[in-house]
Amino acid sequence: VTDKAKGGGGGISIAVQDLGGGMGQETLKALTSTHFEWNRKRQWDRIEDQVSYMPARQPFSGIGVGVPLSKLHADYFGGSLQLDSKVGEGTIATLSLPPATHALERIPLHP
């Protein structure tokens, strides 16, 4: 995983890139919808696995709110979240936000 941030008068952009397996266009499109589940095809071998303590160990893993929630926050602050991915090459997630002088919320800005 690598990251890169750049800023200036036009706001800030933060890009995070991985060199994993990447995703196809269908998966990328589904990621922006609410409740996309990565592990929906999980097969259980034992009944014990179904009643494990997985929710206590990973309470938000695989329930499909991460990307939609990140996109919602980016939109709220007047920015954007873009995902670029190629199967077999990896994924780049870029968060872009406008300058703080254009903040939408009513929090005082201090220099």
What are residue 3's DSSP bridge partners?
16
Of 21, 97, 23, 14, nearest to 2 (Cα)? 14
Q: pLDDT tens across 66-93, in order?
A: 888 888 889 888 899 999 999 999 999 9
Query: SS3 for 16-68, per residue?
Result: EEECCCCCCHHHHHHHCCCCCCCCCCCCCCCHHHHCCCHHHHCCCCCCCCHHH
pTM comes to 0.65
Q: pLDDT tens across 22-71, in order?
A: 888 888 888 876 655 555 555 545 555 555 555 555 555 555 678 888 88
**Domain ranges across the chain:** 2-39+55-102
Please give the CATH number for the structural domain made up of 2-39+55-102. 3.30.565.10
